[in-house]
Amino acid sequence: MSTPAPRCPTCGGLLDRDKHSLLRPGERLTPWMIHDLPRIAWIVESRAAELTEEERQIVRDATTRMLRALEHDAV
């Protein structure tokens, strides 16, 4: 039994749909995507007290998925 795709926090659509993809098939992550991650982390750190519980869960889910993807890829 597979888990359903997560939903877009903006529109509520499933994130496994093409309209949410920033990349074409076979296209690599661009440097701005990778280099934006530390900036996003800094923003979350500096504004953590302002986040709602729903926003906190979105951050938790996203970081868990990214870490899981890296662990899976390293195998």
Could you give the CA distance from residue 75 to residue 62 in angstroms, rounded to a whole number?
Answer: 21
Q: How far apart are CA 5 and CA 16, in angstroms?
A: 6
Q: Does 40 fall in a domain?
A: yes
In a domain, 13, yes or no: no
Q: Which two tokens stand for residue 52?
A: 């709602």
Q: How many residues does the chain have?
A: 75
Q: Is 10 part of a structural domain of the chain?
A: no
User: Is 2 part of a structural domain of the chain?
Assistant: no
Number of domains in the chain: 1
Range of the domain at 65: 28-74
- Domain membership of residue 11 (yes or no) is no
Residue 54 lies in a domain: yes
Q: Would you state the pLDDT for residue 37?
A: 92
Inside any domain, residue 67? yes
Residues 8-43 have pLDDT tens digits of 666 677 766 556 566 677 778 777 788 899 999 999
Q: Give Rg (Cα) of the chain.
A: 14
